[in-house]
Amino acid sequence: MFGTLSYNKQKMIIIITFLTIPLLLLATFTYYPALKLIYYSFTNWDGYSPEKPWVGLDNYREVFGNPDIFKVFTHNFAYFVMGILQNIVAIYFAVVLSSKLRGKNAFRIMLFLPYIMNGVAVAFMFGYVFDTTNGSLNLFLNSIGLTGLGQTSWLGTEGLVNYSLASTGFWRFMGYNMVIYIASLQAIPKDIYEAAKIDGAGSFQTLWRITLPNMKPVIQLNLFLTVTGALEVFDLPFVLTKGGPAGASETYVQKVVDTAFAFNNYGLASAMSIILLFFVVIVLVVQQLVLSRGGDK
């Protein structure tokens, strides 16, 4: 009987049996394809034929020989800014909706609603929101008297287009982040709050001293995802602007996908993906260093 084994033996068995299948899944569907990607990056494979000619480091040389490729990362900055903002707003609403408040369930449902919506619907809707001449956003701005602002070409102005696109992501995923934050708020034991109350802490103090520190792992994770998401953004510009006007909203991953499937150069695209991975890792390591220093006080 399992229960009669010593706890140490049980521990061994549990660790092995509980981890085998999940790790196998991870290895098969995430790491094996990633390894393949590394292999492809050393070939000039066209993406479909059986031959995958080895070319060594040629693809990497080509990417670094053409620094223009990296210029598109400036477009990604907007997604980073909006991502941070999205998290701040999500935390705010999570805290508000975890407090005693009439109708909070209704508000939770409402704010989460965008995440439920289908991607097709989102793209369709925002096509109409951002339209310059007939768009609902400009109509609205005009109707409240902001006629100057109501002429804006939200998707056609360089410098603005990425923020418009990123705000679509904000709209869609804020509620998701909020729910994650609410869930993590629930994990904070109630007695801590009661103790704080007895000590006479104000609500702001409670937030700053208890709530936020307790949410740290989740906040950190969401920050991590914000950064990654900003670097790897692809769908929004692809759907709404096709990278326009004149490439002002093109993103790196979009370039990768084009290279692979439109220009039949899967090898080069793989090298570009691997380089992106390195960038993400570097950014995250930096973030980790900064955060952990801040956490030490």
Q: Which of residues 110-139 bind another protein (CB under 8 A)?
A: 110-137, 139
Which of these segments, 70-78, 79-87, 141-149, 261-269, binds another protein (CB under 8 A)? 261-269
Residue placing its CB nearer to another protein in the complex, 42 or 238: 238
Under the criterion CB under 8 A, does residue 91 sit at the interface with another protein? Answer: no
| Among 53, 261, 285, 289, interactor with another protein by CB under 8 A | 261
Residues of this chain, 26-45, that bind another protein according to CB under 8 A:
26, 28-34, 36-37, 40
Distances (CA, A) of 134 to 160, 167, 169, 239: 19, 19, 22, 19
Q: Which residues have a Cβ under 8 Å from the Cβ of 106 and sit 6 or more positions away?
A: none
Cβ–Cβ under 8 Å, residues 229 and 83: yes
Q: x/- binding map, residues 55-84, to another protein, per CB under 8 A?
A: ------------------------------
Q: How far is the CB of 294 from another protein (least distance, A)?
A: 20
User: Among 78, 171, 251, 267, which residue interacts with another protein (rule: CB under 8 A)?
Assistant: 171
Q: Does 14 bind another protein (CB under 8 A)?
A: yes
The residue within the footprint of another protein, chosen from 55, 94, 165, 266 (CB under 8 A), is 266
Contacts 24+ apart (CB under 8 A), 213-217: 214/184, 214/187, 214/188, 215/91, 215/181, 215/184, 215/185, 215/188, 216/295, 217/184
Region near another protein per CB under 8 A, out of 75-83, 205-213, 263-271, 289-297:
263-271
Q: What is the nearest approach in angstroms of another protein to the Cβ of residue 88?
A: 12
Select the span of 78-86, 142-150, 205-213, 243-251 touching another protein (CB under 8 A): 243-251
Ranges within 134-163 binding another protein (CB under 8 A): 134-137, 139-140, 153-157
Smallest distance from another protein to CB 173, Å: 7
